[in-house]
Amino acid sequence: MTKTIDVNALPEFDEAGYLDSAEARAAYLSDAMQDGDPTEFRRALSQVARSLGMGEIAAEANVGRTSLYKSLGEQGDPKFSTVLRVMAAMGLGLSARPLDPAEMDPRQT
């Protein structure tokens, strides 16, 4: 006999609870950047900020708490300067790496 599970009854997965070290947060954001999708990166940045406390990150980044919620929210489009300040407040930085030819957009070659 097989027991069925109503997936609607399951709690929604919350990544923030698993981002408990600087290494985990950096790896999570790096993975989000791999696809080149700014929406996915913004969402990941929001999860990391939540894991550390939005209020604390906003204060450290010298950004209003409400403004940070809006910037990192579903309709948000944070300025690059905001992203850099928020990441620094998280103890993280950005880095560049050469792209593998398979990752390159053929329209740019």
> Which letter does DSSP use for residue 90 in this model?
T
Of 86, 72, 93, nearest to 22 by C-alpha is: 93
pLDDT of the residue at 8:
82
In which residue ranges of the chain is pLDDT below 50? none
- On whether the CB atoms of residues 58 and 68 are closer than 8 A, the answer is yes
Other Cβ atoms less than 10 A from the Cβ of 89: the count is 19
Q: What is the pLDDT of residue 108?
A: 55
pLDDT of residue 106: 64
Helix (H, G, I), strand (E, B) or coil at 12: coil
The count of other CB atoms within 10 Å of the CB of residue 15 is 15
| pLDDT for 68 | 96
User: Cα–Cα distance between 97 and 11 in angstroms, integer?
Assistant: 37
pTM of the full predicted structure? 0.81
